[in-house]
Amino acid sequence: MRESFRKERHEESIHCTSVQRIESVKTTTPAVPIDVWKNLYSAAAKFSSLRPWEKLDDLDLIAVRDSSTGEAGYGAVMGSGGTLFGFCSYRGAEGFDFYRRLINGEIDPEAEELFAMQNCLKLEFGPRSALWAEDHAVIRQLGLSFKGKHAWPEFRSFLPGYAPWFFTEVEARLFTLALDAACHHLEKVKKGETEESLRDNECLVYSVVGGSSAQYNARWEPWPILAPAPIAVPILNLARINAILAKKPKADSPWEADVFYLPSTIHDRERPYFMRLVVVCQQSSGFVFMAEPSLPEPSVPQLLADAICSSIERHGFLPETIFMKRREEAAALAPLARALGITTRVKKKLDAVQMLKEDMMERLAYGGGRGRR
């Protein structure tokens, strides 16, 4: 099994998200019944007492399937590296694909925006000071208390593009099941009844027997396959394009265009989301034609198409070529390029965009506020 996975630990980059947390404006905490919280904290306490990180690591994937919904979670134990302690359950094919690519070295932790890519439910044991007021409210309501640097449980939901947030009732129930299954698996490991839960192209998936977490079925299933997303061709405004060309913009050297996330959150909705910027720069000088935030919903090709048109309109220049990082985006913008009489090309590293991104990251690092507690 382990031959197909790298053994390097990425616990700091996988499971810890460092973002600016600001006071919420319109965000709301999901309503979860107290009995659901009670079951979840009880499962977390049992999980912690078994000290699974002494027997398992992030290559021992523990999968569980909710028989009532068919939803599957693929759980990795955190703690074998001695830094973070807890459990991360990756959701469905998308979550598993992220886990597989990260462990297999297909995602560069230094180059990618990992904080905005995960689809998982996470438990992390840490200090009391790391918890938010909402966490403390639930703990007080349950009459619980914890002692130790790695003792206070924090539960968070991760979705691509969205900031870590509190569990919904459905998520709390699913994660309780995942923790119970992890405890069940660990006990089988300690008894010598099983040795592995992940092997080439297959993973061991637990499911509850008869609705009781006291009994589980386990069977080997193929790894879930994430179907490739169709290319999102942007909707073009031909009248706008004709108006741009009618003004005869001046020919310019190549541009770069990209969309990326910043580790800063926006709180104007029920669930906070990461700031996403769409940028257009001149390649040679680094001049920024556009750098504007966007909402989570629009596709990247649509954002790029609109940003390119806006940049031409505002500045009166038309590039001979526009470079983008991903082949899919360049292909999606081919109709716009043809209409404007320019070309799109792929370049893995966009130097002008990267320079802007690093500058903004530095500003956030030195000018950001502290998180709420």
**Percent of the chain having pLDDT more than 70?**
89
The whole-angstrom separation of Cα 126 and Cα 131 is 8
Q: Which amino acid is located at 215 in the chain?
A: Q
The secondary structure of 227-244 as a DSSP string is: PPPPP-PPPP-HHHHHHH
User: Which is higher by pLDDT, 238 or 363?
Assistant: 238
The greatest distance separating any two alpha carbons of the chain, rounded to the nearest whole angstrom, comes to: 77
- At 172 the three-state DSSP class reads helix
Angle between helices 238-246 and 300-315 (to 10 degrees): 30
Backbone angles phi, psi at 55, to 5 degrees: -115, -30
Q: How confident is the model at residue 16 (pLDDT cuts 50, 70, 90)?
A: very low
Average pLDDT over residues 176-193: 94
Residue 5 reports pLDDT greater than 60: no
Q: The tokens 């790695």 sit on which residue?
A: 150
Average pLDDT over residues 31-60: 95
Please give the class, per CATH, of domain 238-367.
Answer: alpha beta
In terms of residues, how long is the chain?
Answer: 373
- 274-330 pLDDT, tens digit per residue, is 999 999 999 999 999 999 999 888 999 999 999 999 999 999 999 999 999 999 999
Going from N- to C-terminal start, the domains of the chain cover 2-222, 238-367
Q: 200, 1 in Cβ contact below 8 A?
A: yes
The confidence score (pLDDT) of residue 110 equals 67
Average pLDDT over residues 333-354: 96
Mean pLDDT of the chain: 89
Angle between helices 169-190 and 34-49 (to 10 degrees): 20
The whole-angstrom separation of Cα 340 and Cα 48 is 60
Provide the 8-state DSSP code for 80. Answer: T
**How much is the pTM?**
0.86
Average pLDDT over residues 197-201: 88
The whole-angstrom separation of Cα 218 and Cα 208 is 9
Supply angle C-alpha 115, 120, 123, rounded to 5: 95
Of the candidates 20, 132, 115, the one whose C-alpha atom is nearest the C-alpha of residue 369 is: 20
Of the candidates 126, 93, 95, 103, the one whose C-alpha atom is nearest the C-alpha of residue 13 is: 103
Q: Which amino acid is located at 204 in the chain?
A: L
Of the candidates 163, 136, 169, the one whose C-alpha atom is nearest the C-alpha of residue 34 is: 169
| Burial of residue 26, with CB atoms counted within 10 A of its CB: 0-12 exposed, 13-18 middle, 19 or more buried | exposed
Cα torsion angle, 94, 100, 105, 106, sign = negative
